[in-house]
Amino acid sequence: MTLATLPTRRDEAWRYADMDGVARLGVAALDQWQAIDVAAGESLTRCLVVGSDAPELHRFRVTLGEGATAAFFVTNAGSDYTRVEVEARLARGAHFEFGGVTIGGAGVTREFVTQVVHAEPEATSNQTIRAVHWAGATGNFLGEIKVARHAQKTDAAQDFKGLLLEAGASANAVPQLEIFADDVKCAHGATVGALDEAARFYMMARGLDPATAQRLLVQAFIGDAFVALEDEAERETLLDAALAALEGAKL
Amino acid sequence: MLEITNLHASVGDKPILKGLTLSVPAGEIHAIMGPNGAGKSTLSNVLGGKPGYEVTAGSVTFRGEDLLALEPHERAAKGLFLGFQYPVEIPGVSNVQFLREALNSQRKARGEEPLSGGEFLKLAKDKAGLLKMDMEMLKRQVNVGFSGGEKKRAEMVQMGILDPAFAVLDETDSGLDIDALRIVGAGINAIMRAPDKAVLLITHYQRLLDVVAPDKVSILAGGRIVETGGPELALRLEAEGYDAVMA
Digit-by-digit pLDDT tens for chain B (247 residues) are 999 999 999 999 999 999 999 999 999 999 999 988 899 999 999 999 999 999 999 999 999 999 999 999 999 999 999 999 999 999 999 999 999 999 999 999 999 999 999 999 999 999 999 888 888 888 999 999 998 889 999 999 999 999 999 999 999 888 888 888 999 999 999 999 999 999 999 998 888 999 999 999 999 999 999 999 999 999 988 888 888 888 7
**From CA B213, how far away is CA B29, in angstroms rounded?**
8
Name every residue whose Cβ is closer than 8 Å to that of residue A24 and which is 6 or more positions away in sequence.
A54, A55, A81
Provide the ipTM: 0.94
What pLDDT is stored for residue B198 in this prediction? 97
The Cα B216–Cα B190 span in angstroms is 18
List the single residue in A198, A210, A216 with the smallest CB-CB distance to B101: A216
> Is B109 in Cβ contact with A205 (below 8 Å)?
no
Residue A181 has pLDDT above 90, yes or no: yes
Interface probe, candidates B71, B89, B93, chain A, greatest A C-beta count within 10 A = B93
Contact B73 A216 (CB under 8 A): no
List, as one string, the DSSP characters of B165-231. Answer: SEEEEESTTTT--HHHHHHHHHHHHHHH-STT-EEEEE-S-HHHHHHS--SEEEEEETTEEEEEE-H
- Of the candidates B48, B90, B99, the beta carbon closest to that of A205 is on B48
CB burial string B71-101: b at 16+ within 10 A, e below: ebbbbbbbbbbbbbbbbbbbbbbbbbbbbbb
State the pLDDT at residue A2. Answer: 52
Rounded average pLDDT over A186-212: 94
**pLDDT recorded at residue A3:** 52
Give, in degrees to the nearest 5, the angle at Cα A206 between A204 and A207: 65
With an 8 Å Cβ cutoff, is A193 touching chain B? no
What does the alpha-carbon distance between residue B231 and residue B204 come to, in Å, rounded to a whole number?
14
Contact A208 B101 (CB under 8 A): yes
pLDDT at A4 over 80: no
Given this model, what pLDDT does residue B165 score? 97
A205–B contact, CB cutoff 8 A: yes
Instruction: Tell me the C-alpha to C-alpha distance, in Å, between residue B186 and each of B103, B165, B179, B209.
Output: 23, 17, 11, 11
Q: What angle do the packed helices B148-162 and B178-192 form, to 10 degrees?
A: 10
Q: What is the pLDDT of residue B242?
A: 86
Identify which of B72, B99, B101 has the shortest CB distance to residue A205: B72
Residue B81 has a pLDDT of 97
Tally of CB atoms within 10 A around A44: 15
Chain B residues touching residue A196 (CB < 8 angstroms): 88, 90
Burial of B145 (0-12, 13-18, 19+ CB in 10 A): exposed
Q: Cα–Cα distance between A166 and A195 in angstroms, integer?
A: 9
B51–A208: do the CB atoms touch at under 8 Å?
no
A203 touches chain B (CB under 8 A): yes
Chain B residues with beta carbon closer than 8 angstroms to that of A207: 73, 76-77, 102-103, 105-106, 109, 162
**pLDDT tens for each residue of A45-61:** 999 999 999 999 999 99
Among chain B, residues having any CB pair with chain A shorter than 8 Å are: 48-51, 71-73, 75-77, 82, 84, 87-93, 97-99, 101-103, 105-106, 109, 158, 162
Domain edges within chain B: 2-246
Encode pLDDT of A66-112 as tens digits. 999 999 999 999 899 999 999 999 999 999 999 999 999 999 999 99
Contact A208 B71 (CB under 8 A): no
Interface with B, mutate which of A204, A212, A214 (most B CBs under 10 A): A204
- Write down the pLDDT at residue B177: 87
Distance CA B230, CA B237 (A): 12
pTM for the whole thing?
0.89
Q: Say if CB A171 and CB A192 are below 8 A apart.
A: yes
Nearest by CB to A199, which of B51, B88, B158?
A: B88
Q: Crossing angle for the helix pair B95-109 and B148-162, nearest 10 degrees? A: 30
Which residue in A199, A207, A224 is closest to B102 by CB distance? A207
Superfamily name with CATH number, domain B2-246: P-loop containing nucleotide triphosphate hydrolases (3.40.50.300)
